[in-house]
Structure 1
Amino acid sequence: MELVSGLFLSKRIVYKNGTPVPLSVITKSFEELFNIKLGDCYKKHESVISRKPTKLTEFLDELRKFIIEERENKGYR
């Protein structure tokens, strides 16, 4: 849900007319794309943004570590 919340808050997912896509639509798209159920997106979104600062982006931080590790494994500096 961190990824969904981040994309929603960034307002970078927009309709053709430039209007930001609502949280519920982004969530539904993720559910269909990954064949998962996220449940009440508004409660989940609230739980993400109300986390303690050290746990706020735990999943995104983990993804970042994987990218850095792959970069180093391939010899990029």
Structure 2
Amino acid sequence: MDTDTHLEDAQLKMSVAELTQADWVPFREVMSKTNAFTMLGHAQLIAVDHDHPVSFSQQVVTDIIRDKWQHNGILIT
């Protein structure tokens, strides 16, 4: 992605399977082993939530990060 989400909307159009195999790997690794804060970006994950960027997405924050990944650490934007 080569869009600055502070200036314009950005969308990541990968499937959930692709995200699970690649992009989400380092985040899940850090979240499972440390108490580090996790910064959520402002891009939209189209396969998960077509209407909201990650930073405002209940599907990403609650359904995936909190419920599926069981992460209760601090999330920031």
Larger-Rg structure: 1
Structure number with greater CO (CA < 8 Å, separation at least 6) is 2
TM-score scaled to structure 2, two decimals?
0.31
TM-score scaled to structure 1, two decimals?
0.31
Q: Answer 1 or 2: which has greater helix percent.
A: 1
Q: Answer 1 or 2: which has greater strand percent.
A: 2
